[in-house]
Amino acid sequence: MSKGLQIAFGALVVAGLLGWYAATNLEKIGTFQYYQSLAEFRAANAEGKAVRVHGYVAPGSIERDLANRQLRFQVVNEPPHEAASAEPMPVLYGTLETPDMFQDGAEVVLEGRMASGAVFVADNVMAKCPSKFEAKTAERAPF
Amino acid sequence: MPEIGYYALWLALIAALGGVAAGVAGGSGRTEWSEVARRAVWATFLLTAIGVGALLYCLITADYRLAYVAQHSARSMTLPYRVSALWGGQGGSLLLWVFISLIYASAAMWLLRDSQRRLLPWVAAVLLLNAAFFLALIDLPALAINPFTKLPPGDVMSDGAGLNPLLQHPLMLIHPVVLYAGFTGFSVPFAFAFAALMTNRQSDVWLRATRRWTLVPWFFLSMGILLGGRWAYEVLGWGGYWAWDPVENASFMPWLPATAYLHSVIIQEKRDMLKIWNMVLIGLTYSLCLFGTFLTRSGVISSVHSFTAAGWFGYVFLGYVAVAALGFFVLLWSRRASLRSANRLESVVSREASFVLNNWVFMAILVIVFWGTMFPVLSEGVRGTKISVGPQFFNKLTGPFAAALLFLTGVGPLVAWRRASPTSLRRQFVVPGLVGAAAVVATVLALGDALAVYPVVFWSLGAFVTATIAQEYWRAVGARMRNAGESVLTALATLLRRNQRRYGGYVVHLGIVFILIGISGSAFNEERLENVKPGETISMNDGYKLEYLTAKALPKQHYGGAVARLALFHGSEPLAVMVPERRVYWLEQQPASIPSIRSTLLEDFYVILTALEPDGSATVKIHRNPLVNWIWIGGYTFILGALVVLWPHPETRSDRRALLPREAA
């Protein structure tokens, strides 16, 4: 076999091993997650599947449940100060620990799944600054 | 002052474009233009420096007529942070990028003026084309990122919006600059490789000349990555230092082929092999630097960590990356015949083979990281929905390859060239092998019930590699003491001077061992979230206790909030008072949790004040991170090793100059 063919063969073997390893191991951990807006998520109606949903925290909806060490809040599709939204989606987050930016109106991405009973159970919550009036020019991070 | 900066950057763009033309002309045979190209590099550098100086002046003097100054700084910021606001936004950070790359370009033009006369016009052309692209991005009004844009007079305020509080941290004063010193520096070896291909001069002189030019940016990139991890650990408050975020991956991806190149270039020097492959690695490294910049700035991977820019900015940038990469690889393909080497790999048990394997492993890790990072984009293209990939994907897949690399780090430097005989293998590896085996037994016994695969693997391989390094030093110092009659310290100093690359490289490897041991400690991370009233105690594993004492208001100038005080005990022995803070920055209206960290060699206690609840209790998150400080210790070791490798020794410089062939006039 020529050298080029040997290299190609070796690369294929490695790629195949990687792909097989990835495929067999990763679905168990649920590392692949769809990313969609709240409106898209509702339309898709995918109960039980691990997803990432994008939305905004409905003002006044955050409840800290100290006894059960969990958090309840509601998420809407549109930024609250910009547009009125359709019905908010209730979220249950199993910890009291929230990202620094998490507050009324914050833009959030939730990782979790829709449990039975229309409550979204979040495994992870990521938040960004609530957009201010100069949202278009505001840049959050460098480079 | 803003006008000076604005026009200086336009002139810089014109100088750069002129220099590109001159460089191409000079490289194509009209040698009278070569000197013009060189001068164009310096001119572009000076003009860009004026632009940077003007922007710095506006930032320091709080000139809020400029939109950029208004958006990224405030009167409350001290001088260092006003300076760092230079890279607080898109336009300024691109300006910093091109400025640093021109420092490298000017230095290359000066330091290599005698040794690479034939190549320099092409090098100048490539480096100036690169600079012209970035300057054009900044200058052209269509992209709206020129930092010298003024606000409409009615919108000018007396104070600015301030810098993101997360960035107001000492590490953020240096991390971006160091990282850019890494990224931009790779443009020089890239340009030299391109020039060598263009002129079809395949001697290895340019390889040796540019080795230092690859080591320096590689060092800065490594430091930049570590600094970013340390900043994340100290400021972001989630208890970790690396999340495989697209922005993080963008900095890590070029590091992989760059490190592979540093190793395989040794093979080219010693055995005249892997010439095409080394070219591929250089091209890949710089292309990934550009691609990473594109990823971070274009918003194509939308996570809450990246930030969006003007719509077609992404396309323009991606187009440039494609042009640069394609141009290089097409040229390489057309010259491949002249790069073929006569030598072949003779045995799998040889230093060449272990270096080739090391390259394969680096490439495998690159494929994993690239695939995982780009998966959302690819999946959207194929399936219409964005599928994102979490950190577990990267951790699980890169783990085995990191272990393989660690193994090769021990084997590679010791195994013989061409074909290792059983005798040489025995002589080199008996002692380190025994040390490694003993370490396996020791770790298994020490862990007991907490037995986990990766800690055993990494600690025993770490012991193996450390033993190989110790053995190398021991034998070499011993030989000098016997043969040259030197004392231990003199022998050591001579070694470090005479063979910098080897013995400095060993120190760098030791740093990597420490870093991997530090990372492996995360298998035993412990976390707790508790809600406590004053006086209550949280009990942790191994007899550690945290007693919540009190919380006080934080009456500082730039932020308010609260600081909680918790006493850490081991049994009944008091260890420290942890003071996590929850701040709200007034101007930016942004909350931030600042962790309180207690560091020892063995572990970190990391406490975050999640919230002060209305009923007077405190919700506290506690992390116990074993071995994490070995990562930073590894970083310092790394710096030490790099200093040894890069140290310019006066008495050897003249020898080196004599070795470097002069080109015919």
ipTM of this complex prediction, to 2 decimal places: 0.71
**Cβ proximity of B578 and B550 under 8 Å:** no
Alpha helices of B232-274 — where are they, by DSSP H? 246-271
Per-residue tokens: B28 = 């194509």
From residue A65, give the alpha-carbon distance in Å to each of A71, A100, A122. Answer: 6, 18, 15
A56-102 pLDDT per residue, tens: 898 889 998 888 888 999 998 888 777 777 788 899 998 888 887 88
For the segment A9-36, the average pLDDT, to the nearest whole number, is 66
Task: Tell me which DSSP letter residue B234 carries.
Answer: I
Rounded Cα gap, residues B203 and B197, in angstroms: 11
Quick one: closest CA in A to B297, which residue?
A143
Determine whether the interchain pair A103/B591 forms a contact, defined as Cβ–Cβ distance below 8 Å.
yes
Residue of A21, A64, A142 with shortest CB distance to B397: A21
Q: How far apart are CA B218 and CA B254, in angstroms?
A: 9
Q: Say yes or no for a CB contact (<8 Å) between B367 and A21.
A: no
Q: Per CATH, which fold does A33-128 belong to?
A: OB fold (Dihydrolipoamide Acetyltransferase, E2P) (2.40.50)
Predicted confidence band of residue A24 (pLDDT cuts 50, 70, 90): low
pLDDT of B299: 67
A107 vs B: CB within 8 A: yes
pLDDT band with cut points at 50, 70 and 90 for residue A138: very low
**Is B167 in contact with A66 (Cβ distance < 8 A)?**
no
**A137 → chain B, closest CA residue:** B71
Average pLDDT (A117-126) is 85
Distance (Å) from the alpha carbon of B441 to chain A's nearest alpha carbon:
29
- Crossing angle of helices B422-447 and B391-411, in 10° steps, is 140
Structure tokens at B536: 């209550």
B385/A36 touch (CB, cutoff 8 Å), yes or no = yes
Task: Say how far apart CA B240 and CA B283 lie, in whole Å.
Answer: 33
Nearest CA among B80, B149, B158, B68 for reference residue B587: B158
Q: Is the pLDDT of residue A1 over 70?
A: no
Beta carbons of A32 and B376 less than 8 Å apart? no
Best of A26, A100, A104, A107 to substitute, by most chain B Cβ atoms within 10 angstroms, is A100
Q: What is the pLDDT of residue A32?
A: 54
Which residue in A21, A98, A142 is closest to B89 by CB distance?
A: A142
Q: How many residues does chain B have?
A: 665
State the average pLDDT for chain A: 75
Residue pair B65/B147 in contact (Cβ under 8 Å)? The answer is no
For chain A, give every domain's residue range: 1-31, 33-128
Least CB-CB distance to A139: which of B90, B293, B302?
A: B90
Q: How far is CA A24 from the centre of its chain?
A: 23
Residue A22 has pLDDT above 80, yes or no: no
* Residues of A with Cβ-Cβ distance to B364 under 8 angstroms: 14, 18
What span, in angstroms and rounded, lies between the C-alpha atoms of B634 and B520?
A: 13
Yes or no, beta carbons of A138 and B376 under 8 Å apart: no
CA pair distance B273, B146, nearest whole angstrom: 46
Beta bridge partners of A126: A109
Among B156, B388, B594, B610, the residue to mutate for chain A (most A Cβ within 10 A): B388
Regions of chain B short of the pLDDT cut 50: 303-310, 654-655, 658-665
Nearest CA in chain A to B589: A129
Overall residue count recorded for chain A in this entry: 143
d(CA B661, CA B641): 29
Between CA B585 and CA B557 the distance in angstroms is 9
Q: Cβ contact (<8 Å) for B306 and A129?
A: no
- In this complex, do B90 and A64 lie within 8 Å of one another by their Cβ atoms? no
From chain B, the residues in CB contact with A22 under 8 A are 393, 397
